[in-house]
Amino acid sequence: DTEVTQTPKHLVMGMTNKKSLKCEQHMGHRAMYWYKQKAKKPPELMFVYSYEKLSINESVPSRFSPECPNSSLLNLHLHALQPEDSALYLCASTYRDRGVNGELFFGEGSRLTVL
């Protein structure tokens, strides 16, 4: 099983809503990532979890709140978002976040639209 599964695939929310994006992997990876990708732009790193601890926060606004309940799951809680937060949110995982160079395994992404 080499899959990273993201749900939902599409999400439309208002600026006052609270929603969550979910990511799951069963490859035994201990590093998990959230990336944000806007149209015609590269994926931009938001957060890295290493061994279920937040190791990198790329100065992301607090309206995005990550959570790693266990080594297989990664959530991104969304609250009071702005229309400019509309983007494709990609989850990725790899064996660990440092010491070994390797590829990230990406999910298909969650397409978020904020009205």
Partner 1 sequence: DQQVKQNSPSLSVQEGRISILNCDYTNSMFDYFLWYKKYPAEGPTFLISISSIKDKNEDGRFTVFLNKSAKHLSLHIVPSQPGDSAVYFCAASAGVEGNKLVFGAGTILRVKS
Q: Which residues bind partner 1 (CB under 8 A)?
A: 4, 6, 31, 40-45, 48, 56, 90, 92, 94, 96-109
Q: What's the min distance (Å) between Cβ of 13 and partner 1? A: 20
Q: What's the min distance (Å) between Cβ of 36 and partner 1? A: 11
- The b-or-e profile of 92-107 (16+ CB within 10 A means b, else e) is bbbeebeeeeeebbeb
Tokens of 8: 């939902």
Nearer to partner 1, 16 or 40 (CB): 40
- Work out the burial of residue 9: count CB atoms within 10 Å of its CB; fewer than 13 is exposed, 13-18 middle, 19 or more buried: exposed
Strand 105-106 versus strand 18-25 pairing type: unpaired
Q: What's the min distance (Å) between Cβ of 91 and partner 1? A: 8
Nearer to partner 1, 52 or 106 (CB): 106
Nearer to partner 1, 31 or 114 (CB): 31
